Amino acid sequence: MKPTFKTEQESFWAGEFGDSYTKRNRDERQIATRTGIFGRILSRTSRISSALELGANVGQNLLALRALLPSVQLTAVEINASAVQHLRCIPNVTVHNQSILECAPEALGFFDLTFTSGVLIHLSPSTLRDVYHILHQCSSRYVLVNEYYNPTPIEVPYREHGERLFKRDFAGEMLDMFPDLELVDYGF
């Protein structure tokens, strides 16, 4: 039975386009780049023993985190079944094969770090508040939003598809939405 989704974007990423994206992004050399990026990010944090990535694809960010924090407990949420097959090959990663929009924060639990990396940009803008809520609710210490930035919301064509790439100030929106969040670094 084919799953039903709330948005066109979910169907897009769960389907053939998501499968192609997964194939294009299996370059293990990217793990070294991501390890460098996460090294800089982690230098601004302390005591991270667990992390949740929403939209993990094949797990390159998780592998980078594991290289830097060998004992970190990792959890991934991923909509695309092809990507999930790769995630399940990474030892000691809890994998949820589902849409981010179907996640119940209470079912996922709490993590020292919750994050997205190149995922919010591909979600329907109408769903962002729900995803921000998940990131915030599941975090016991840090929230990382590693996304394309634009000071005002815009849509950008993505590989000849409309309504598949959006830029905005995701972190700023989260800071406005959750007054208990404190900015550690904007990363620019």
Structure tokens at 16: 């053939």
Q: In angstroms, rounded to a whole number, what is the distance separating the alpha carbons of residues 52 and 139?
A: 9
Q: Has residue 172 got a pLDDT over 90?
A: yes
- pLDDT of amino acid 1: 61
Q: Which candidate, 179, 51, 188, places its Cα nearest to that of 116?
A: 51
- pLDDT of amino acid 179: 97
Q: Has residue 73 got a pLDDT over 80?
A: yes
- pLDDT of amino acid 62: 98
Binned at pLDDT 50, 70 and 90, residue 151 comes out as very high
Q: Has residue 163 got a pLDDT over 80?
A: yes
Q: In angstroms, rounded to a whole number, what is the distance separating the alpha carbons of residues 148 and 169?
A: 8
Please write the tens of the pLDDT for every residue from 10-56. 999 999 999 999 999 888 889 999 999 999 999 999 999 999 999 99
Q: In angstroms, rounded to a whole number, what is the distance separating the alpha carbons of residues 177 and 181?
A: 9
Please write the tens of the pLDDT for every residue from 77-134. 999 999 999 999 999 999 999 999 999 999 999 999 999 999 999 999 999 999 999 9
Contact 82, 50 (CB under 8 A): no
- pLDDT of amino acid 98: 97
